[in-house]
């Protein structure tokens, strides 16, 4: 057994590597064990997010959006192209390069912070001893005063559509198609279904999304969700709600025929590829030994309290493997909080203000409560909204779809939720997060000076609209 460390982190995704760096910054002797190997069989830090999640999906969303703009929008701006051709291999090579640069960057950051990175699969044993099995099968034990489990999550599989080598794939497979499928089926109309469905639609696929629920984007504010659904439909995404997959069948090794059911009965569709994107499940099954009595919840997330402490002293769990939204930034913040608490600080995390973003075009972003949540809890609230069609900057950019909507407490005026659908909503939402973190009222936002012309002015106008004094839209009739 090697010398005892202060902390061993299991997993180097955005939760684990951030926790490890913060621990090291605080002077703790830290080890970080990760088992991700890239296609060349080399360790590749950064977890799902950097290897097959946030980063490669955003690289392809960016490339595919540029392709769509070149095809459909450049001429409107007076830019004529004689032809626009897709070089998918180059697009994928660029995506792979972005991933490779960033994953290598994490390795460099760990090194610079003197975190010892170990490649292998970790298993927590009793008394905070961690056994690591390397790719060669060699086992080595390490002991620590504290262990942080950040083992992440994996795609949920469906018995009715088991994954195949290249016809029925999960999100990772959908980030690596070698050609554009003519007809693409997507099971699940959640974040991955919409983002990856958009990528392939922009590149030329006819995309059908089969979503089991009868509500579209149930977690988003339903006013924006409905507008988003109309917009995506106009773009060509065929979203079918209340569609329960019954069966799938491979035809001649080339296509997938699915059977699904909705209120009108059974239906069949044939696709060239099928993406299964029906959620993710925590990687909690092999990460600790039976002798470690760690409590799991009913959905197999490692049970933790508000400070990410598990049922075992000195053992913490963070990121996708514990409750809460499966988002990179949520895991990273938990990582920082846990590192600081291990170092004796009183760190906390504000779970009420974790922003959500869907990187479609337009983007959808929100923080805080939705209108349906406020109605359900009987909260007294005021609404102010402002459409991008009335924004000078949005008009100049040719990006006028969507709106900003602010929900504020009717008596105190404190901002309770902000919902944005529009270009760069992922960036605009940060202003709302900061305002809410500081306990701002809509009046505070209304009193703030925003640069003109900017998309941010829509946030200002929505804040003014809470009090029915937006300048660039008609006043609400009383
Ligand atoms: P992970 O990133 O899953 O990392 C866990 C790491 O631990 C992995 O490297 C894994 O191999 C390793 N590991 C597991 N078990 C062991 C073990 N026993 N021993 C050693 N190592 C182990 N989130 C966003 O916020 N924004 C986005 O835009 C976004 N886009 C996404 C797009 C896609 C296609 C997908 C699939 C996900 C996306 N997510 C996004 C979600 C995001 O990727 C996750 O929330 C995030 O990666 C979770 O971080 P984590 O550190 O908890 O786990
Ligand atoms: P999700 O929970 O967002 O969506 C899954 C969808 O599949 C849901 O709408 C669900 O009703 C539907 N579904 C479930 N079973 C079904 C079935 N049998 N048939 C048809 N539909 C079914 O999950 P996801 O899109 O797989 O994404 C996984 C996780 O990754 C999410 O938690 C998300 O937070 C994260 N992620 C985040 C981003 C981002 O932040 N932009 C992007 C991608 C993924």
Instruction: Report the separation in Å between the CA atom of 287 and the middle of ligand 1, taken as the mean of its atom positions.
Output: 15
Spacing, Cα 64 to ligand 2 middle (Å): 21
The response to whether residue 335 sits with its C-beta less than 6 Å from ligand 2 reads no
Interatomic CA distance for residues 416 and 352, integer angstroms: 10
Q: Is 63 in the pocket of ligand 1 (CB under 6 A)?
A: no
What is the C-alpha separation between 457 and 392, in angstroms, rounded? 9
Whether the CB of 320 sits within 6 Å of ligand 2: no
Phi, psi of 24 (to 5 degrees): -65, -40
Backbone angles phi, psi at 476, to 5 degrees: -70, 135
CA dist 118 and 254 (Å) reads 41
User: With bands split at pLDDT 50, 70 and 90, how would you rate the model's confidence at 245?
Assistant: very high
Could you say which ligand is closest to the alpha carbon of residue 173?
1
Q: Any idea which residue has 């620590």 for tokens?
A: 144
Listed in sequence order, the residues at least 6 apart from 342 whose beta carbon sits closer than 8 Å to its beta carbon are 6, 7, 23, 26, 28, 146, 316
Q: Going by CA atoms, what residue is nearest to atom 40 of ligand 1?
A: 54
Which residues have C-beta within 8 Å of that of residue 90, sequence separation ≥ 6? Answer: none
Distance 193 CA to ligand 2 centre (A): 7
Looking at residue 34, its pLDDT comes to 98
Q: State the Cα–Cα distance between residues 349 and 395, nearest whole angstrom.
A: 38
Q: Is the CB of 192 under 6 A from ligand 2?
A: yes
In tens, the pLDDT along 69-100 reads 999 999 999 999 999 999 999 999 999 999 99
Q: How far is CA 471 from the centre of its chain?
A: 35
What was the pLDDT predicted at 345?
98
Q: Specify the pLDDT at position 66.
A: 98
> What's the gap in Å between 390 CA and the centre of ligand 1?
39
Can you tell me the mean pLDDT for 140-151?
98
Instruction: Using the predicted structure, report yes or no on whether residue 392 has a pLDDT greater than 80.
Output: yes
Q: How confident is the model at residue 476 (pLDDT cuts 50, 70, 90)?
A: confident
- Which residues, 6+ apart, have CB-to-CB distance to 371 below 8 Å? 221, 222, 223, 381, 383, 405, 407, 417
Q: Whose Cα sits closest to atom 3 in ligand 1?
A: 152
CA of 280 to the centre of ligand 2 (A): 7
Give the orientation angle of helix 191-202 with respect to helix 54-72, to 10 degrees: 40
- Point out the ligand nearest to the CA of residue 174: 1
Mean of the per-residue pLDDT values of the chain: 97
pLDDT band at 240 (very low <50, low <70, confident <90, very high): very high
Q: Whose CA is nearest to atom 23 of ligand 2?
A: 279
Active site members: 452
Nearest bound ligand to the CA of residue 317: 1
- What is the pLDDT at residue 16? 98
Does residue 54 line the site of ligand 1, with CB under 6 A? yes
**Helix extents (H) in 131-180:** 171-174
| pLDDT, tens only, 361-370 | 999 999 999 9
Angstrom distances, CA of residue 127 to CA of 23, 344, 411, 456: 20, 21, 53, 52
Query: Residue 308, class by beta-carbon neighbours within 10 Å (0-12 exposed, 13-18 middle, 19+ buried)?
Result: buried
Q: How confident is the model at residue 11 (pLDDT cuts 50, 70, 90)?
A: very high
pLDDT-above-70 percentage for the chain: 99
Query: Ligand 2 in contact with 359 (CB < 6 A)?
Result: yes
- 330: helix, coil or strand? helix
Q: What is the pLDDT of residue 3?
A: 82
Which atom of ligand 2 is the closest one to the Cα of 218?
A: 9
Separation of alpha carbons 425 and 405, rounded Å: 12
Cα dist from 94 to 84, 88, 98, 100, 258, whole Å: 18, 10, 6, 10, 33
pLDDT, tens digit, 9 for 90 and up, residues 271-316: 999 999 999 999 999 999 999 989 999 999 999 999 999 999 999 9
Q: Output the pLDDT for position 477.
A: 77
Q: Is the pLDDT of residue 105 over 80?
A: yes
* Pairing of the two strands 206-210 and 238-240: parallel
CB 274, CB 165: distance < 8 Å:
no
């Amino acid at each position: 057994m090697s010398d005892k460390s202060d902390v061993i982190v299991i997993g180097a995704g955005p939760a684990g590597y951030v926790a490890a760096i913060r621990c090291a910054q605080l002077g703790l002797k830290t080890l970080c064990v990760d088992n991700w190997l890239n296609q060349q069989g080399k360790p590749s830090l950064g977890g799902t997010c950097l290897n097959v999640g946030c980063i490669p999906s955003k690289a392809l969303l960016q490339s595919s959006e540029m392709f769509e703009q070149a095809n459909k929008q450049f001429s409107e701006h007076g830019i004529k192209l004689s032809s626009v051709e897709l070089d998918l291999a180059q697009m994928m090579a660029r995506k792979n390069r972005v991933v490779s640069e960033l994953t290598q960057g994490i390795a460099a950051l760990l090194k610079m912070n003197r975190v010892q990175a170990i490649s292998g699969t970790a298993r927590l044993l009793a008394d905070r001893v961690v056994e690591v099995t390397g790719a060669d099968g060699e086992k080595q034990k390490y002991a620590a005063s504290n262990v942080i489990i950040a083992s992440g999550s994996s795609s949920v599989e469906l018995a009715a559509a088991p994954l195949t080598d290249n016809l029925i794939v999960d999100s990772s497979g959908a980030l690596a198609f070698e050609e554009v499928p003519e007809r693409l089926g997507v099971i699940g109309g959640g974040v991955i279904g919409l983002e990856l469905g958009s990528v392939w639609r922009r590149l030329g696929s006819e995309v059908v999304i089969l979503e089991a629920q009868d509500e579209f984007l149930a977690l988003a504010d339903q006013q924006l969700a409905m507008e988003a659904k109309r917009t995506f439909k106009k773009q060509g995404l065929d979203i079918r709600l209340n569609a329960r997959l019954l069966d799938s069948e491979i035809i001649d090794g080339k296509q997938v025929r699915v059977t699904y059911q909705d209120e009108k009965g059974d239906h069949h569709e044939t696709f060239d590829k099928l993406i299964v994107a029906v959620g993710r499940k925590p990687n909690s099954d092999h990460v600790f030994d039976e002798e470690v009595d760690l409590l799991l919840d009913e959905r197999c997330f490692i049970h933790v309290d508000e400070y990410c402490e598990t049922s075992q002293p000195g053992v913490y769990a963070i990121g996708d493997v514990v409750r809460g939204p499966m988002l990179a930034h949520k895991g990273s913040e938990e990582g920082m909080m846990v590192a600081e608490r291990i170092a004796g600080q009183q760190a906390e995390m504000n779970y009420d203000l974790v922003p959500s973003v869907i990187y479609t075009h337009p983007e959808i972003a929100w923080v805080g409560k939705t209108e349906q949540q406020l109605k359900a809890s009987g909260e007294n609230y005021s609404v102010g909204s402002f459409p991008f069609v009335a924004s000078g900057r949005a008009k100049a950019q040719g990006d006028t779809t969507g709106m900003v909507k602010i929900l504020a407490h009717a008596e105190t005026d404190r901002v309770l939720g902000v919902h944005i659908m529009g270009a760069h909503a992922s960036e605009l939402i940060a202003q709302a997060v900061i305002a809410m973190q500081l306990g701002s009222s809509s009046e505070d936002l209304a009193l703030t000076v925003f640069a003109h012309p900017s998309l941010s002015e829509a946030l200002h106008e929505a804040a003014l609209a809470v009090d029915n004094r937006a300048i660039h839209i008609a006043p609400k009739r009383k």
